[in-house]
Amino acid sequence: MTAELAVVLPAVTALLALLLLAVSAGMLQLRLEEGARAGARALARGDSSAQVVDTVTRLAGQGTAVSLAHEGAYASVTVQGRAGGVLSGLVPWEQTARATAHTEEAGPRGER
């Protein structure tokens, strides 16, 4: 019984580490997408770049890279990050989310 456990335990540990990496990557992707959507909405409203980056960083998490762009009548936010965990150093897995929103124009009395 002990010999079988000694053979199986490393495989179970490696499988658990892979599952935790997959869960971490999935949660990171959700945070990146939420941050990109919120940032695109804020940029389309006319918020400053610093406010947009702060919003995206707050939602997507620290250690993410944020890039802002205006493409015609659209505002675009791209967020990049890496999943953390035990195996994250072995897997160079860069995740990206991008969101685009139509820029809002001022109303008839200067209202947004």
* Position 107 in a domain: no
Write down the pLDDT at residue 105.
Answer: 77
Q: Give the global pTM.
A: 0.80
Write down the pLDDT at residue 86.
Answer: 64
* Position 41 in a domain: yes
For residue 72, give the DSSP letter.
T
Report how far apart the first and last C-alpha atoms of the chain are (Å, whole number): 71
For residue 66, give the DSSP letter.
E
How many other C-beta atoms can be found within 10 angstroms of the C-beta atom of residue 17? 14
Write down the pLDDT at residue 4.
Answer: 83
* Position 67 in a domain: yes
* Position 86 in a domain: yes
Write down the pLDDT at residue 98.
Answer: 97
Series of mean pLDDT values for 10-residue runs along the chain (112 residues) = 84 87 89 96 93 94 92 94 74 88 72 53
* Position 111 in a domain: no
Give 88's Cβ-side CA count (13 Å radius). 15
* Position 109 in a domain: no
Domain that holds residue 39: 2-102
Task: Give the count of domains, the chain.
Answer: 1
